[in-house]
Amino acid sequence: MARINKNTQSTNLVIYKQEKDNSMILVTGGAGFIGSNFVRDWLALNDEPVINFDKLTYAGNLSNLASLEQDPRHIFVRGDICDTAHISRLLAEHKPRAIVHFAAESHVDRSIHSPGEFISTNVNGTFSLLEAARAYWSGLDGDDKSGFRFLHVSTDEVYGTLGPNDPPFTETTPYAPNSPYSASKAASDHLVRAYFHTYGMPVLTTNCSNNYGSFHFPEKLIPLIISNARAGKPLPIYGDGMQVRDWLYVGDHCSAIRRVLEAGRLGKVYNVGGWNEMANLEVVHTLCDILDTLDPKASGSYREQITYVQDRPGHDRRYAIDARKIERELGWKPAETFATGIRKTVQWYLDNQAWVRDVQSGDYLKWVEKNYAARDTAQEQK
């Protein structure tokens, strides 16, 4: 059966893929927030199957993929990217035409409490995956070899922090990671780069800003605020709440990755962002205001639950992405504004309360206890 690609842009890679009857891709970390959005979107747009390789850590959740349970195009394999032998067996068995690498430890606060896991998965795991991919790719020939891609999904946090008037990060901004998380991602980016320059492996790297959307684990700011607000709990703002992030709707991140996979230049880096810089306090106010409309409290506003707590150590003040390269070279730009994306997101959380309850498992509760109990409530509620 020929696989049909419904993307409109036609490239050699797409034509190659359509002609190759049994093509498939391997995704790592596809049971997490962005990975599961990517896999669902991919299978909604393509018939090309996905092997989804995920360790199922606290952040990986098969219920994120429940809609694909009966879908033969989705092959889930539980495994650890540190296990080179396991990945090598999978590559030999399924012969994917590309690897899209999402698997990582992803939460900055957790990296401050327990950096070891971040080094193990993000650095050693990416290395193991690269080694398995290199051996596999080296054994390919012809179109299979030239068409192969390794796409590494990374973060804007590798570039460090910006002052209020600094220009946004470009692909040539020097790396200056400040947290164990961003340092581990920076290390993985460097390894990916080295595999291109040393071995000629066909790699691509994307560095993206903060994502938000459905299936976002409620340890991160936006889903945490929505679930705490509805539970009548404090809405914790680290420090003064004036740290700035660029926010990108997860569906837009997935479309950027598809586009880079399809047409990105080998060995190149593409910054992906939403042109949506906002201070955390403004994000939290927006969430409270939407909830006040969609799910009002008996009296008062959700804003009354805002509580200032002790800041994150080494907290980066500002991230901002210059996403002009991906627009100029590949014609990608985000489809959602923050106003449209955040409303959809709040509505999704209101419609999927069972999912939130399920992920708030024993491990989640232990994490909340550890992260927030140690923080002094910095000031009175404002």
Which residues have a catalytic role annotated? 156-157, 181
Task: Report the relative pairing of strands 277-279 and 244-249 from DSSP bridges.
Answer: antiparallel
What would the two tokens of residue 249 be? 């709707």
* Helices (H) then strands (E): counts for the chain: 15, 12
Q: Binding partner of residue 104 among ligand TYD, ligand NAD, none, CB under 5 to 8 Å per kind?
A: ligand NAD
Closest residue by Cα to residue 135 from 175, 99, 159: 99
* CA atoms of 13 and 263, how far apart (whole Å): 7
Report if residue 221 touches ligand TYD, rule: CB under 6 A: yes
Minimal distance, residue 312 CB to ligand TYD, in Å: 6
Q: Binding partner of residue 40 among ligand TYD, ligand NAD, none, CB under 5 to 8 Å per kind?
A: none
Binding mask 209-248 for ligand NAD (x = CB under 6 A): -xx-----x-------------------------------
Report if residue 38 touches ligand NAD, rule: CB under 6 A: no
- Helix, strand or coil, per DSSP, at residue 204: strand
What would the two tokens of residue 264 be? 């990105």
DSSP secondary structure letter of residue 235: E
Report if residue 208 touches ligand NAD, rule: CB under 6 A: yes
Q: Binding partner of residue 211 among ligand TYD, ligand NAD, none, CB under 5 to 8 Å per kind?
A: ligand NAD
Q: Are 208 and 169 in contact (CB under 8 A)?
A: no
Phi/psi at 18 (5° precision): -65, -35
- Measure the CA angle with vertex 39, ends 101 and 350; round to 5°: 115
Residues 160-199 that bind ligand NAD (CB under 6 A): 185
Q: Binding partner of residue 108 among ligand NAD, ligand TYD, none, CB under 5 to 8 Å per kind?
A: ligand TYD
Closest residue by Cα to residue 225 from 111, 340, 309, 154: 309
Nearest to ligand NAD of 26, 237 (CB atom):
26
Q: Binding partner of residue 23 among ligand NAD, ligand TYD, none, CB under 5 to 8 Å per kind?
A: none
Closest residue by Cα to residue 221 from 109, 359, 380: 109
Nearest to ligand NAD of 211, 228 (CB atom):
211
Nearest to ligand TYD of 36, 280 (CB atom):
280
Phi/psi at 11 (5° precision): -135, 170
Binding site for ligand TYD (CB under 6 A): 108, 210, 220-221, 224, 236-238, 243, 245, 280, 312
Binding site for ligand NAD (CB under 6 A): 28-29, 31-35, 54-57, 59-60, 80-82, 102-106, 121, 125, 153-155, 185, 208, 210-211, 217
